[in-house]
Structure 1
Amino acid sequence: VRAIDVKRLPTVRNGMLSMWRFVRFVLGYRRSQKRHPQRVAVETSADRCTHCGRCVKLCPTGAIVAGDELRTDAAKCIRCCACVKGCPVGARSYDSPFAPVLSRNFAQRKRNLTLM
């Protein structure tokens, strides 16, 4: 029988705890949005945009108009981020309030698991 040094065992983070923290944040965010509504729209970098028109073609709601690619109509935008993903030069970005919380709560990658 070998002795096991408990200090050397890898610590396993509880995924449910991370999920609970994120759900708590989302519920608090939704409550604050009811009191103080705020529409977050996709932003476009004027110096990086080449006006190629790809974002106009990719937008399913028509929130981006050809010739005025720098502006996104926040009332029409459904925040699908199709324009952000499809921009060939990376000129479009979406600063979500959930991004920092997601990275903080789910920063640790899962271990690889092989299923047979």
Structure 2
Amino acid sequence: MTDAQIMTITFSSIFLIHIILAIFVYRDAKKRGLNTKLWTVLTLVVPNFFGVIMYFIVRTQTSSKKVCHQCQNNINHDDLYCPKCGANQMETCNRCDQPLHETWIVCPKCAKPVGE
């Protein structure tokens, strides 16, 4: 392999990694309710992957958000109802109305099994 071929493969690989990271940052920023355009551009423009490093520092300092299943509005993880459309976001216990996490098998307040 010639030096020119090695350089071409190296630069192509770095370019591809930048594109993959930009797609990841865009999707992750959207999921967390951050400015997707700003972080995607910073990921692509700031050299030596410092844009990605900055994103990971900022993203850990912000609370992650979830999206309303009905209107796609960004809401907090602990919101029972969407403030925009009023859709119920979290299952509650039938006995004590305690909000339930989707992975729980019993209510932590009254010990009633989830799904009964």
Give TM-score, length-normalised by structure 1. 0.27
- Bigger fraction of residues in helix: 2
Give TM-score, length-normalised by structure 2. 0.27
